[in-house]
Each structure stands twice: as structure tokens, then as C-alpha cells.
Structure 1
């Protein structure tokens, strides 16, 4: 079979699948196109069950689009021009009743099915797939497939309840709806198909990867825009089909490059498992390029967890010599499959065509949240202490502070009898209303910071009225190891660069960043289909780039970036990483001289303080506020005593002031720093504490502060060395 024959054998089934799943003509055409691009990139001639394999790819593409464009799918909620379909058998009571179920009504009901139900119906009645095949494609149990089919047909029947009273020769309306749905979806008289000849020609161009491959697609206003850079060498991408055993979209949602690679079929399928002590570790896929290595794995626990968190004594990748390779992991509970899905990511990359590695976990720890009732008085501003004396925790002290006019800050300090638990405990205060509903924080909480006395400290911000007036029950909540399974689970991996080669571009650069203090320059650029990394060299150790937002503009398209804090940090280098935000990959094989520009926004500069002192007088338990000018800015200083400690807050009404980072006082000429408690870069509020303060007055000095330049954007072309 040729590519042409394959395309015209399955194009209508794929297009109808896309149309029913996406409910949008343009999306259906685009996804149908990309499905066959993915198919032709694979070794499809050696696939045993070709139709099921193609439908698997089509369904995964559709589900990815649905997850990415939930709002967009609702925006254009129509299929095709609707016609009344009267081709019904009328020589039976059954046919007479179902004749009343018009094409438009049936089409409307199909469109309104939930995504999970519509996917099963589509695969069953368009793909002609068995329950077992659908089970494998969607990675759900066969019983779940049957129940979803039944539920879908039942939902459609409910909208025609007045037909249920008709007895059609012993058959139920549910059976007849199934027959009607099958006939409706299988016969395509009502479908206006796209120009398949034109689509096939476009797919062929995509396969050949000619330089102008994006011209037609960009005119369609959708999708895969290649990232093209002013360099002279690129490696042709040769992807290998990656098995879609699970839905990974939620797990890798903040690793959009890997999500795009999954959808496009890149990566090496591993599918190797090891089971010991009732726990199964499976490595499903591997992605290796010149920026990183990512493994997708699942853990099937050896006991019921109800989705509670599990951790490990160690998760590590080892090279052929047994040397650990540093990395990090993230995972989520998949309730339907009863497994934890996760990824392990490392900056390690292959230097040879073949590498033998070992992925291992040691010690599975099953965690649970423990709640201890505490008699917290929300209206008491004094420190309240509660003895826990349980699970290695000694006590918790709770303090409340006025945060804003209508918000309250709750600060909890935990002391331990077993200090090893500090890094394992997620301790916080929870508040409930009389109905048992938990109040949520109004800002993202901060857990596990080092307190003034070495305690574990957490900061939570609540609505003051809710916390003080409506809450009637409080608990001290912490994470504790419930059980554990000791052992080691090793999966041997043989990663092949030839199998996973997805193309890369490396370029050494020497572009000075003259607008920054000190000497700094862009030294290198690495482009792969899943990520772009830009390295900045600087003389100052651990230099902090003075921007909060980074973007890379490539031919008018913008990629969002961030400063990487992962892996082993080089004190004289800063790395910026950029990933795709949609379903397309960075196409490094289409290298051309298109403009590439680094954009840095939201500049925040840090300054050393001077010898100007801020004198605080008549210090007492009564909060006082004084306003002083500092470095040309008006700063409000609020201070008071609480439990023998001096609390000092600073803020400014001026939007270009970033905030006070830290203050100190002089004790016999030696600087004594206050301990930071809270800092918000958005509203420049900062709070510090001086433990066991004695006296009525103090002179404070600013150690450092920041200023903002919201319009101080930096634009650096990367196409030249000027």
C-alpha cells in the first residue's frame, strides 16, 4: 500500500472522527491533516492493526485539542449545513418511530455528549473498533467502555422520553437509538468533506519538509509555525511513534514542549516494568534532545491510597557506571487507572548514539494528612501556642497580623522533636465554617520557610471577616508518613539517539548586554523541537538578571520563557528556557534567516542602601506609622511590639518602588539584621521582626531595596554578533 492509498482508505473516517470530536470544521480539517503527517512519519507499513492504530492517533490529537481549546470549541459550536435525513426503513413500527428522530435532532444530541462519552461513541461507530480496541486506545477498562456507551445512548434517549412509551416488537428505544446512531455516523451523505487532494499535497510537503512548508498553513491562521534561526546547520527530524498508553496532558501541562512532542509522536517507546513488594514501576516513554532528558513513568502502589500523596526516599537516573544523574520529578494521581503518573526530568543529554542507563526508585512512602483540633481564638492578636507532642512535632505557635484593610495574615511556627521531619511536613492552619466547609487562602500560601528561631514557618493570607467572624473550627494540619514499602525498583533502559533524534541547532554567541550593570553577554543558543535555551555569562557570582518576564520573538511569534533554577547552577551563568505554549513543535529543520529577538520586560533593579537612618520612636504595642523619604521615594513605616518582639512593616504608594528587602541596626558598630517575615513583589509590602526587643527607640538602616521600570523593555536581536 502506498501513502496515497492509505490516505484515501482512511481519510473520511479520520475526518469524521475529528469533526464529531471537535465540533468545528476548521479544527477538524487541521487535525485530520496533522494525523496523517504523524502517520507518515512512522513505520506504518509494519503496523499490524493499521486502522486501530490510525484511530488511536486521531483520537489523541482530538483530545489534546479539546483540552487546549475548551473555550474555543464552545465558541464555534456548529458542524455542517444540516439537512433532514429521511432514509429510514418504514416497513416496521420501529422504523416509523425512529423516522421522527430527525437528522438535526440526532446531530444535536451527538454534539452535546460529554467528551469522554463522545470519544467512545466515535471510535465505536465511525472506527468500527471493538470494545477491546477502544479500551486499549483510551486506556480505560473494557467495562468502562461498555458503561460509557450505554450512558451515551441513555442520555440521548432521555431527550426523547415520549418515545419510550412505544413498544417496538419487544425492542427498547435504547437499542434502536444505538442502531440509528451507528447508521448516522457511518454514512457520510450529510458530511461536506474538505478538498482531500489539496490536503494530501500539503501533507506530502510537510513530510518532505521543504523550506516554504509553513506558507499555506499560516494563511489558514492555525498551528505549526516553525521556529527558524539565523544559523547554518540543522539535523532532520526522524520521530518514532510513542505509545499513547495514558493521558499525560495534565502531568506535563507546564512542560508544553514535551506535551507537543507526545502529540506529534516523538520519543522512544520504552514500556518496561518491574514489580516488587506489590509495587509496579513502569517507564513508558523517553525524550532526549540536546537540552534535556525526560522519562514518563507510572507507579502502581501496593496498597489503597485514595489518591493521597506518595514520595520516595530516592528517585534517580544512573549512567552505565552507576553514577547518579541529578534530576527532579512531578506526578499526579490517576484515579481511573489507579496509578501515579509522573515525569522525571534532567539536564543530562546523550553524548553517544547509544546509552545504557538505569532508572530507579528506593523506598515508597505513603503519606496522609493529619488534622489536630486546636482551640484557636481568631480574634486574639497575641501568640497562641498549642502542644502537639505527636509524630515528631512538639508544638505550633500561631500569630495573626493585619495584612490589608480586609485581609489577615496567619503565621504558624512549628517546632519538632524530630528535626528530620522539617523537610517532609506540609504544616498549615485550616479554618472551617459551621457546615464544615474549609476557607481558602486569598493569596498563595508559603510553607516551610525557616523561622526566626529556626522553626518551620508558614504564612497564609485569609479574608479577615471570614476568618474572624464565620470560622468556628480550626485544625493544625500536617503531612505524615502513614506507611512505607522498603525496597528498590530498577528499570534498565537502552536509549538510542538514532531512535529519538529530533533535530537540534547549537550556536555559540558573543552578544554583550550593555544595559546591565557589570559585564554580561549571551554566550550560546540551543534549539530543539521541545525547547530553546539561551545562556548568559556574567562575571558577578549568582548575578540576578533585573527582569521578571522573558520572551523570544521568532518571525513575529512569541515564546514565553523563564529563568531556570533547575539542576546544578553555575554561579557565573544564567539560563533562560523557552517552551511552546500550543500543540506545535519547534521545527528546527526549517532553518532560514528570520528575525529572532530576545525580549526582557518588567525591569526590577536592586540597590544597596545608604547611611540614611529611619528612626522609630515611642515603640509600644500600639501600631504606629511614620512616613519618611528614602532615595527619592515616600516610604510608610509601621511598627509595634507583640509578645516582646518588634515588628516593622514598610510599603510605598509609589508604583515604581519595588520594596525594602531587608533592614538592620547597629550594635557597637556591628550590623544586626532583622528577620524577614513577608514580602510581596507586587505591592512592595515587606514585614520584618526583631526578636526580644528591649527599648523604646531604634535607628534602622536599609540593607537593600528595589525599584521598578515597567517600561524599561530590553530587545536584543540574536541574528548577528553586533
Structure 2
């Protein structure tokens, strides 16, 4: 499978600080929307290796009863811009005082939810809301279900994020969706429910990653049944792989478990991508965390299972009937048909349309079904200024990709300004590795062999642990991007290696580990579905609007 499809990362912004057991910081980092510097990471079924898949982020959806919303006047000036550190386009609109004023409030059990404002253009819809209490505080309270429905009652999928504002003593948040009214106006239903507050719980673990043994822990509390913890030393880094079985589905949705590593009581930062939520073979909630090997081998290291537990719940529903109007934003909207053919590495796509709105620039492209253009980074160059963007598939149409770019604060974009589409950091997929990899004398002792994969030297390390065969592949050549997945046999006798690691293009790590469960034979012959090569220096520039 494609590396970008192998996992759903809970912590999407690696540049933000992360310090457990501060749940508020953790919540800030599970924002399902992506900053422009990142590509979307998606949860997939790891047992389906050769099919291209499109899976959506877990969008919090639910049905709710219709309640009456009463308009009120805003009592405070809200700091909305702090909610959008990676969305300069929304910041720009807010600074200009644009957006539709809503100011509708509903109070339930002394807790008031106000829908303050809506930003609606031809690229997206953003609903701004604030939560406050008549008595006490809502500082640690979060809606776990925020939904919107169109005038036909169809659920509109989107992402939501919330953050505490000390100045107004309110929890401010937003709901963002790619949906936008087909006409200039439309009616929607906005609903928030399942209001919770949480505390962090830690459970001591007697675990030694250096031993190479799998740790099995019976937790039996707060909806968590069992934890399995494995370690994989990969040179300067050691990977901790956790798998948790829950006996309470609701706890599984809210616990956000991870392994907290302490050095003399001080929490250690992980060293790499923290990946959580990839489904295990038996429905486990899995996690992947990397730490420096030298740190884990030092004295004074301890391990804890850290997770969140519900401490308060308000089982009420806040529902609003909203009339959205995007006419105000249409004056800053430019639509342009492109139909520009772009080719690279045997892959062709057509840049079909560009939509420039006050908040965002979106370029739509068409291609063959499930095909991904072979580049990692995307930019728009507008009148000499480069805007970083990100790409995603159209969930409803696998022949379409969408490239999004936040509109910078203060940038004026006219229809005749030169615009170029730039792709960089080439990542190619290859299926020419036909020679099998033969493993002999399989035992608990780690052994290595070196083979050629597409002309690159690849070292295979294999060993048996807990009756399972583990196979790690890596290359000293940084141009080798890694092996996607291995398998044995063919047809009905085909045996798939289960990926242990979730890998990412461009992270400097081409190591991958597959596991074959309950493998008792002393020999094995592996095959590769495909492998990747990476050329960070490779780029492609396409003139969308040529300079005069």
C-alpha cells in the first residue's frame, strides 16, 4: 500500500510541543484538519495490500433532536485568529471583518453554546462557536460530536477543533467542511452534543525494550482490556509498537492511549512520527512511537500507559437552524478553467480548474482511477511569491485530486497575475523487483542478508520472536524509499506480511518491518509488491497563468 495510506496519525502537527500528561495540549494536537505543510494521513485496513484505498478521517457524526436557537448579542471580543495558526486565509478574512454574523445561543444545564459566525465561500465553510458556563468553568470540556446537515437532511462531513480562551473564559472552536452552498444561500442544521471533560490516567508498566521480549499487560480498567507492547531497535532509534484491546467502544473512542517514557521522572520526547489509530488485526488500537536508542538504554528509564478518562459528561444536545449566505465573499472569487496536461514518470494528470476565494486557492486535477502524481510537496507561485500547499483525493471521485493553498494575509490576487504550479521531491513507485528473497535457518537469533532491489542494496534482518517471523528491510542508499510490503506464495496460497511500521515518504527512514504470525518453518521465500525511490532535488513547474 502507499506509505501515505498506511496510517492515521493522531498528532498531525509535529512542530507543536507535546508534553504528557497535559490533556489540553494533546487535544490541540488531534485536530483532524491538516496544516499546509503536511499531507493527509489516513487509516486503512492493513490486510488489504494491493488495492489503492481512500479512507476518510474519522469525522464525528450523529443525529440529534431539533431545538430552538435564540439570537443573542456577543458579549466579548473573541480571539478567533488563534484557532487558525496554519490557515492564513481564514485569518485574513477575520482581520478584514468579513464573514456572516450568526450570534445564536442555546443553554443546556447552565452551559451556553453560541454559534458566533460563519465564513462561507466557494472553497469551504467554517462555523465559529464558543462555549461558556453560567457557573463554574468549561475549560476542560470538549464536544465529541459536532455535525452539520444540509437542507435535505444529508450529513455534511467536516473537521472540528476547540481551544480554551483565558480572556473570555470560553472554549472557542470551529467546524470546517469542504461543503459549500451550490447557490449563494442555503439552510443547514448545526448540532453539537456529547460534552465531556477528561483527566489523564497513567499505569506503570514493567517493560524492558532492550530484552526484545514482547510485553503483555492485563489492564482491566476504564474500558481497557489488554496491552501488548513490542520494541524494534533500528540503529539510532528504537520503535515502540503498542496494541490495545478495549472492552468498551466509547472508551476506545476517547482514551487516546500512548506509551509515556520517563527518565528519572522527566517525560522524554519521542524522536520521529508518532502514529496512532491504525486498526490491528483483531480490532486493536495500535500506536507507533520512536525514541533514541541511547536514551532507552540509559538508567532511570520507566514506562507508563497514559490515556484519558472521562470525568464529567453533559448528555444534552445543542442544535441550530442556520441560514448561510456567501454573497459577501463572491466579490473576491475568481474561477478559471485550465485543462493543462502534466506528465511525469509515466503518470499523467490534467489540471482542470482553479478556484481563488478570499480564504483559499484550490486546484482540481483529474487522472486515472486511484493514481497518485509522483511528488510529495506542492506549491503555487503567484507573482513571484510561493505558497506551500497540500494534496488530497476527492473521496467521492477517485479520478480527482485536489491541491489546496492558503491565501496569505494581505496578498491581492488579480486575474492577470502570473501563477505557476510547482511539484517537488519526487517519489516513484516501482514494480520491477521480481527476484525472491530467500531466508534460511530462521531462529530467535537475528540474521541478515543483502540483496539487490531495483539496483539498490537492501539489507534484510529476520528473526523469530513469540512464534512470529519478523522481517526488516532497509538500505544505506537514501534514494531508496523503502519496500511497501512483502508476501509469500501465490494465489490461494499467498501469505501476506503484516506491516508493523507505518512509514512516510521523505522522513529519511527507509526501514520497514513485516510480521508473519505463527510462522514455524525454518526457511522462507519472500516477494515484494513494490518499492519506492526518492529524489528530493527533483521538481516540476507548470505555468497556469503565464507572465505577460
* TM-score relative to the length of structure 2: 0.80
Who is 1:644 aligned against?
467
Report the CA distance shift for 1:321/1:441 in structure 2 as closer, same or farther (over 3 A).
same
CA contact (8 A) 2:345 2:428 kept: no
**Relative contact order (C-alpha < 8 Å, sep 6+): which is higher?**
2
Helix, strand or coil: the match of 1:253? coil
The 5 A counterparts of 1:389-428 are: 389-405=220-236, 407-419=237-249, 421-428=251-258
Give 1:530 shift: 1.4
Who is 1:298 aligned against?
130
Who is 1:281 aligned against?
113
CA contact (8 A) 2:137 2:169 kept: no
Q: Measure the CA separation in 2 of the matches of 1:662 and 1:360.
A: 42
User: Where is the strand percentage greater, Structure 1 or Structure 2?
Assistant: 2
Who is 1:579 aligned against?
406
2:530 to 694, 704, 709: 704
1:326-359 Cα distance to aligned partner (Å, 9 max, x none): 2111122224433222121111222334333332
Who is 2:450 aligned against?
627
Q: Measure the CA separation in 2 of the matches of 1:268 and 1:252.
A: 18
1:567-587 Cα distance to aligned partner (Å, 9 max, x none): 74421100000113x4324x3
Who is 1:691 aligned against?
517
Q: Measure the CA separation in 1 of the matches of 2:521 and 2:280.
A: 23
Q: Measure the CA separation in 1 of the matches of 2:426 and 2:75.
A: 44
More displaced 10-residue stretch of structure 1: 547-556 or 673-682: 673-682
CA contact (8 A) 1:601 1:713 kept: yes
Who is 1:248 aligned against?
80
The 5 A counterparts of 1:537-556 are: 537-539=366-368, 541-556=369-384
The 5 A counterparts of 1:339-488 are: 339-405=170-236, 407-419=237-249, 421-434=251-264, 436-488=265-317
CA contact (8 A) 1:243 1:285 kept: no
Give 1:519 shift: 4.3
Q: Measure the CA separation in 2 of the matches of 1:302 and 1:625.
A: 66
Q: Which runs of 5+ in 2 are unaligned?
A: 1-73
CA contact (8 A) 1:609 1:702 kept: no
Helix, strand or coil: the match of 2:126? strand
Report the CA distance shift for 1:311/1:688 in structure 2 as closer, same or farther (over 3 A).
farther
Report the CA distance shift for 1:307/1:344 in structure 2 as closer, same or farther (over 3 A).
same
1:105-143 Cα distance to aligned partner (Å, 9 max, x none): xxxxxxxxxxxxxxxxxxxxxxxxxxxxxxxxxxxxxxx
RMSD: 2.4
Give 1:367 shift: 2.7
Give 1:548 shift: 0.5
CA contact (8 A) 2:81 2:94 kept: no
Report the CA distance shift for 1:279/1:619 in structure 2 as closer, same or farther (over 3 A).
same
Report the CA distance shift for 1:304/1:444 in structure 2 as closer, same or farther (over 3 A).
farther
Who is 1:229 aligned against?
none
Counterpart check, 1:591 vs 2:415: yes
Report the CA distance shift for 1:707/1:329 in structure 2 as closer, same or farther (over 3 A).
same
1:490 to 301, 319, 331: 319
Q: Measure the CA separation in 2 of the matches of 1:378 and 1:707.
A: 31
Counterpart check, 1:261 vs 2:93: yes
Q: Measure the CA separation in 2 of the matches of 1:243 and 1:489.
A: 20
Report the CA distance shift for 1:692/1:303 in structure 2 as closer, same or farther (over 3 A).
farther
Give 1:709 shift: 2.5
Q: Measure the CA separation in 2 of the matches of 1:676 and 1:703.
A: 13
Report the CA distance shift for 1:532/1:668 in structure 2 as closer, same or farther (over 3 A).
closer
Q: Which runs of 5+ in 1 are unaligned?
A: 1-241
CA contact (8 A) 1:311 1:367 kept: no
Helix, strand or coil: the match of 1:466? helix
Q: Measure the CA separation in 2 of the matches of 1:437 and 1:303.
A: 36
Report the CA distance shift for 1:668/1:319 in structure 2 as closer, same or farther (over 3 A).
closer
Give 1:378 shift: 4.5
Who is 2:390 aligned against?
562
Q: Measure the CA separation in 2 of the matches of 1:638 and 1:306.
A: 52
Report the CA distance shift for 1:629/1:296 in structure 2 as closer, same or farther (over 3 A).
same
Q: Measure the CA separation in 1 of the matches of 2:109 and 2:494.
A: 56
Counterpart check, 1:661 vs 2:489: no
Who is 1:511 aligned against?
340
Helix, strand or coil: the match of 1:257? helix
Give 1:419 shift: 4.4
Give 1:446 shift: 1.0
Helix, strand or coil: the match of 2:267? coil
